[in-house]
């Protein structure tokens, strides 16, 4: 694993560098999510997998929802068309098998 600080809209990696890309709860802060998804697609090898986890919009408590001026909350169904628009195929959603412990969802797409 190679960790670097950067901006998801301009990743410091060459084209087709990775087999898999995983983002945990960061898409809320992306100002142009389709552009960022396209950048993530750029660094994936053909057939590579992108996985983005979120906590669905309805699972945030009311205080968190009110304090969301710095982020955008999503339902996974909001993200699936963005993945497609960014060029991903085989887009699907997987739900945590124990939603009472963690209500997260993961949106996946293949380059």
Residue 6 lies in a domain: no
Gyration radius from the chain CA atoms = 14
Number of domains forming the structure of the chain? 1
Contacts of 38 (CB under 8 A, 6+ apart): 86, 87
Domain range holding 102? 18-110
Q: How many CB atoms lie within 10 A of CB 48?
A: 19
Say if pTM beats, i.e. exceeds, 0.85. yes
Burial readout 54-68 (b: 16 or more C-beta within 10 A, e: otherwise): bbbeeebeeeeeeee
CATH assignment at residue 55: 3.40.50.150
Residue 76 lies in a domain: yes
Residue 28 lies in a domain: yes
Which DSSP letter does residue 27 get?
Answer: G
Both tokens of 65, joined, read 């929802």
Report residue 67's pLDDT band, with 50, 70 and 90 as the boundaries: low
Instruction: Express each pLDDT in 32-62 by its tens digit.
Output: 999 999 999 999 999 999 999 999 988 877 6
């Amino acid at each position: 694993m190679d960790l670097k600080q950067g901006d998801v809209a301009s990743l410091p990696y060459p084209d087709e560098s990775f087999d898999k890309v995983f983002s945990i709860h960061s898409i809320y802060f992306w100002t142009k999510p389709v552009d960022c998804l396209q950048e993530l697609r750029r660094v994936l090898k053909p057939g590579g997998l992108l996985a983005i986890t979120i906590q669905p919009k309805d699972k945030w408590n009311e205080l968190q929802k009110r304090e969301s001026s710095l982020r955008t909350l999503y339902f996974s169904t909001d993200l699936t068309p963005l993945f497609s628009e960014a060029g991903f195929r085989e887009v699907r959603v997987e739900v945590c098998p124990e939603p009472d412990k963690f209500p997260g969802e993961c949106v996946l797409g293949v380059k």
